[in-house]
Amino acid sequence: MPAVSPSPLQSVQTFRKAFPVPRRFVGRLVQKRSSGEKFRMPSMPKRALATITSACLIACLSLPAWPEGAPTGNASRAPKPSIALPGAAYAALETITPDHIRWHVRYLSHDLLEGRGTGQRGGDIAAEYIATQFAEYGLKPAGDHGTFMQKVPLVGITTLPETKFAVVPKRGETMNLKPLDEYVAFDQTQQPQSDVDAEIVFVGYGIEAPEYNWDDYKGTDVRGKVLLMLVNEPPSSDPKFFKGEALTYYGRWTYKYEEALRKGAVGVMLIHQKQMASYDWDVVRNSFSGEKSYLRLEGPGLKVASWIHFDVASHLAAASGMNLEKMMQDAQSRDFHPLNLGARLQAHMVSKVRNFESNNVLAILPGSDRKVVDEAVVYTAHYDHFGIRPEMPGDNIFNGAQDNATGCGILLEIARAYGSAGARPRRSILFAAVTAEEQGLLGSEYLGKHPPIAAGKISLDLNYDDVKPLGAPEEVEVTGAERTTFYSNVQAMAKEFRLAIRPDARPQAGHFYRSDHFSFARVGVPAFSINEGMKFKGHPESWGIAQEQEFVEKHYHQPSDEYHPEMDFTGDSAMARFGFALGWDAASLPQLIQWQKGDEFEPARSKSQ
Ligand SMILES: [Zn+2]
């Protein structure tokens, strides 16, 4: 078939329009042969016509034809990208539909699943559901002892009301802080009781970043101290300095605790300020109340890992003869030096400590090429959410429909498509529904450290988290893909799917460090999440942004993140198809994917290979 237009798809379409092949023709031919009736050869002109028609019939049967716009599964079909994937991959991709995803979301976010809490019955039921689906799709178990389950050893810590948390300033009254309203805190030593009576030292952002020639500690001995610090990182618009607007890992609260522990501190008090945290105190209250899970400890831990309300910090600064705004200002200078407030934290931490296990659910489709069958591409999505909070009045089930029943629905739909495909890519495909993401990416952290296929042999991790069911997307976000050697393939595929690549809409929120692909990046695996942008078919961009803002303001990590029948999963299906094609392509490449030269994760990659 002569190339008549730029993309192979258009040529097929224009061709079929120009030369429509009546389906019924095909039918009759088939009928005759099957009925055993003697088939007589038609006359010459008829023969010529028959030859031409059967020629284009064969052409059409091998190359599926698709209408305009991003493939969604609503009786639409996807373009044949210039990235050569076998026909079997397309046939499988085309079976991905919005309704398949809808039913997974509806089930996983049902009240009966009780918010899929980590270490709660609802979470375990969700894990069994996912494992059952994987088995149904004909995939192989990749968990422990030939099962689909990888046991993750966890500890559930609940800070008990007997806990005392008092700040004794240099001058004035001792501040006995009110839990949840003025502070939240956890004892990360995983002991039932810990006591702290230590000096409070203000360390600015608490960052030591040699690559940015930045060190808030300046060699100060903070062993045994409690560190008061700011979240986020020094403001910058220079991409070479803390990556400009985008948040680096240094700005994440997890880094702050990790660095303080490395410095020998016994506790941390993070100051919550809405703009700097990019979320409300309510999110802190919800994320840090009730039971919080940790991976079972293999070393020391902070006795007090806490957040304090901004007003408390202002009061403490004033009672120490200082001004918080001024302290925050000074912290923005490279010459900042730690400040001993002359105040003490006296905390008596009392915790309920519950050892338990939760499961990562792992399945694998072995690759078709023996040379690289021990290498893999991984798809991840977390299935856990905040569970049920018996002590909460009213609606106390955190259903987590969008976060992250949508990602699970997409993961399952991609797994089903791979399982039903008439062929397999060269490398193996690993499917991982991970637990305890809401507890701090714990399931994926454990999987990254205990992968069924060595991290150095994993070519790519594609993650799905919180994919808005808002309709047909015209954009895709693949933040982090530009940092890998796979980016040109991602760009080509996005073009074929008629999706514009949208840069991270809120780089300051540091999304790259807030979802499970980050656990793979930390062990060197090229990894990123796939999500829709803000532009949806039939709507201006502002509509998409408004939907996002409304979700973040009203439903993010709230019981109201629930399933609604009017949700439109067209976009989720489009993201599933896009990820399916990307993963198949990545699993078929001659080489393993790498990070770009100089990337912060490159050292971990070379260490793992
Ligand atoms: Zn999530």
What's the gap in Å between 397 CA and the centre of ligand 1? 16
What's the gap in Å between 107 CA and the centre of ligand 1? 17
pLDDT recorded at residue 392: 87
* 84 pLDDT more than 60: yes
**Segment (H or E) for 387:** strand 387-388
What's the gap in Å between 278 CA and the centre of ligand 1? 16
- Contact between 442 and 152 (Cβ < 8 Å): yes
| Residue (of 468, 490, 487) closest to 556 by Cα position | 468
What's the gap in Å between 438 CA and the centre of ligand 1? 7
* 6 pLDDT more than 50: no
pLDDT recorded at residue 83: 59
What's the gap in Å between 93 CA and the centre of ligand 1? 25
pLDDT in tens, 168-195: 998 889 999 999 999 999 999 999 999 9
- Contact between 230 and 271 (Cβ < 8 Å): yes
pLDDT in tens, 417-462: 999 999 999 999 999 999 999 999 999 999 999 999 999 999 999 9
* 68 pLDDT more than 60: no
From CA 5, how far away is CA 11, in angstroms rounded? 5
What's the gap in Å between 492 CA and the centre of ligand 1? 28
From CA 549, how far away is CA 542, in angstroms rounded? 10
From CA 387, how far away is CA 117, in angstroms rounded? 3
Domain boundaries, the chain: 8-63, 92-141+366-608, 157-353
pLDDT recorded at residue 170: 85
* 317 pLDDT more than 80: yes
What's the gap in Å between 426 CA and the centre of ligand 1? 31
What's the gap in Å between 25 CA and the centre of ligand 1? 51
From CA 431, how far away is CA 515, in angstroms rounded? 16
Q: Are the folds of 92-141+366-608 and 157-353 the same?
A: no
Percent of the chain topping pLDDT 70: 86
Q: How many helices (H) and strands (E) does the chain have?
A: 18, 22
| Residue (of 488, 560, 484, 498) closest to 526 by Cα position | 484
What's the gap in Å between 604 CA and the centre of ligand 1? 25
From CA 471, how far away is CA 536, in angstroms rounded? 6
What's the gap in Å between 308 CA and the centre of ligand 1? 24
pLDDT in tens, 471-500: 999 999 999 999 999 999 999 999 999 999
| Residue (of 425, 455, 441, 283) closest to 365 by Cα position | 425
pLDDT recorded at residue 228: 98
pLDDT recorded at residue 287: 79
What's the gap in Å between 456 CA and the centre of ligand 1? 26
What's the gap in Å between 465 CA and the centre of ligand 1? 5
What's the gap in Å between 377 CA and the centre of ligand 1? 21
What's the gap in Å between 242 CA and the centre of ligand 1? 25
Burial class (CB in 10 A: 0-12, 13-18, 19+), 135: middle
Q: How far is CA 243 from CA 229, 332, 510, in A?
A: 21, 15, 11
User: Within 13 Å, how many C-alpha atoms sit on residue 581's CB side?
Assistant: 30
Percent of the chain topping pLDDT 90: 76
State the CATH architecture for 92-141+366-608. 3-Layer(aba) Sandwich (3.40)
Q: Are strands 214-215 and 387-388 parallel, antiparallel or unpaired?
A: unpaired
State the CATH architecture for 157-353. 3-Layer(bba) Sandwich (3.50)
What's the gap in Å between 439 CA and the centre of ligand 1? 10
From CA 273, how far away is CA 286, in angstroms rounded? 16
